[in-house]
Amino acid sequence: MNESKGRSIPETVKGVPEPTLRRLPLYYRLLKQLRDSGRAGVSCTMIGTELKLDPTQIRKDIEVTGTVGRPKVGYDINELICAIERFLGWDNTVEAFLVGAGSLGEALMGYGGFTECGLQIVAAFDVDPTKCHRVMHGKHVRHVSKLPNLMRRMKVRFGIITVPAAEAQQAANLLVEGGVLAIWNFAPAKIQVPERVIVTNEDLYCSLAVLSQKMTRKLALSRSKGGSKP
């Protein structure tokens, strides 16, 4: 099974180190904030100061987009934003089907930030008859049995899974039947898919476990030193 982090990766991104792919969106968000504040240019040193990252590494990351800064001048912010969008494939809208119209699924449907990354959830699916035929954040919820045929008809190739663990594989099977090419899996379960399908497992439990353990250690250290709670 293929696995990758984030959205499906365009051909131009193949071979690029994953840490670079994870840092580019950080630069992108900062650049948009700087542009909104009225800045026209930016340097790697400025980006590094804001994000607490090594400017040399930032320069190497940006170079993969084909953009080269000018000595003592840096980068034009608008040009760099466009370069990152093109490189990550965010300049083209990708339509997605979401499986699982529960609390998490509904929250993702209502999140407006996906649009700036070129992702548009166009429909949702669920097995619960009380959720079917409803409209959530402008998206129609249909029964999962309708997913494969509608996916083929609409030529949607991106799927998002937000169902309970026990239902994750069935959801993946329906997406594969519909011709999916990339799956963003939020269910706390591994799914089996053909080699042609890219999968990202977004395990919220693992992230919470790491955060909780670090907090526990920090509190224990504070108590051992006789300090107050942080």
Tell whether 46 and 26 lie within a shared domain: yes
For residue 43, being part of any structural domain is answered with yes
Half-sphere exposure for 162 (CA within 13 Å, toward CB): 19
For residue 137, being part of any structural domain is answered with yes
Which pLDDT value is given to residue 4? 39
Tell whether 23 and 59 lie within a shared domain: yes
Among 34, 37, 64, 63, CA closest to 47: 34
For residue 165, being part of any structural domain is answered with yes
In this prediction, residues 162-184 reach a mean pLDDT of 97
Whether the predicted pLDDT of 64 surpasses 70:
yes
In this prediction, residues 178-195 reach a mean pLDDT of 96
Q: Which domain holds residue 128?
A: 94-206
SS3 annotation, the chain: CEECCCCCCCHHHCCCCHHHHHHHHHHHHHHHHHHHCCCCEECHHHHHHHHCCCHHHHHHHHHCCCCCCECCCEEEHHHHHHHHHHHHCCCCCEEEEEECCCHHHHHHHCCHHHHHHCEEEEEEEECCCCCCCCEECCEEEEEHHHHHHHHHHHCCCEEEECCCHHHHHHHHHHHHHCCCCEEEECCCCCCCCCCCCEEEECCHHHHHHHHHHHHHHHHHHHHHCCCCCC
Tell me, what CATH number does 143's domain have? 3.40.50.720
Which pLDDT value is given to residue 2? 42
In this prediction, residues 116-133 reach a mean pLDDT of 93
For residue 216, being part of any structural domain is answered with no
Place 116 in a pLDDT band, splitting at 50, 70 and 90: confident
Q: State the pTM of this model.
A: 0.78
C-alpha–C-alpha distance, residues 86 and 118, integer Å: 11
Whether the predicted pLDDT of 39 surpasses 90:
yes
Tell whether 61 and 103 lie within a shared domain: no
